[in-house]
Chains A and B, each alone.
Chain A
Amino acid sequence: EAGVAQSPRYKIIEKRQSVAFWCNPISGHATLYWYQQILGQGPKLLIQFQNNGVVDDSQLPKDRFSAERLKGVDSTLKIQPAKLEDSAVYLCASSWDRQETQYFGPGTRLLVL
């Protein structure tokens, strides 16, 4: 069974630029999550989708972050414009349903200069 795919794996941008991350969940998984993990901290949930609907986006900085999951499969997370404090690993995870085991992708390591 293929795991969660993410791209790119690494990205370096300058502050105020835009960046987008892509995630392809495990086939059949209804729930998709985006997390931000800053060095030395646990993952922080940014947004959770159930199929193509948003379940929770309470911690998503909506003035600069946006995410979508069209057709309930792939998802993209965008940052526009980026700030220095956005430097982190962005993890995508999926699960069969809410509150089930989450399977993580390898993450995208973002550095904002």
Chain B
Amino acid sequence: GAVVSQHPSWVICKSGTSVKIECRSLDFQATTMFWYRQFPKQSLMLMATSNEGSKATYEQGVEKDKFLINHASLTLSTLTVTSAHPEDSSFYICSAGVYNEQFFGPGTRLTVL
């Protein structure tokens, strides 16, 4: 149980295009979903927290207009990187939270050319 999927697992796009990453909790309903960014050999950096049906709460320094988060249901959250640039290249990880525990997706590697 407690499986979280992410799609796609990797994506390469051209600079200026938008990319959507999906995060799904497959066998449970998550009250909250989280989006992280991770650079090589570094820790996870929380980007935003989202609750179903409400606006996401972004961490300080994260551009909400660049990283659009939609939490349409208790099992699906999406992160859209708008007008992506090479500096947005990174590993993006989502997690689905149930009370004090988070279950992590396998991550999405984004490369912007």
Chain A partners chain B: no
Interface residues of A (CB under 8 A from B): none
Interface residues of B (CB under 8 A from A): none
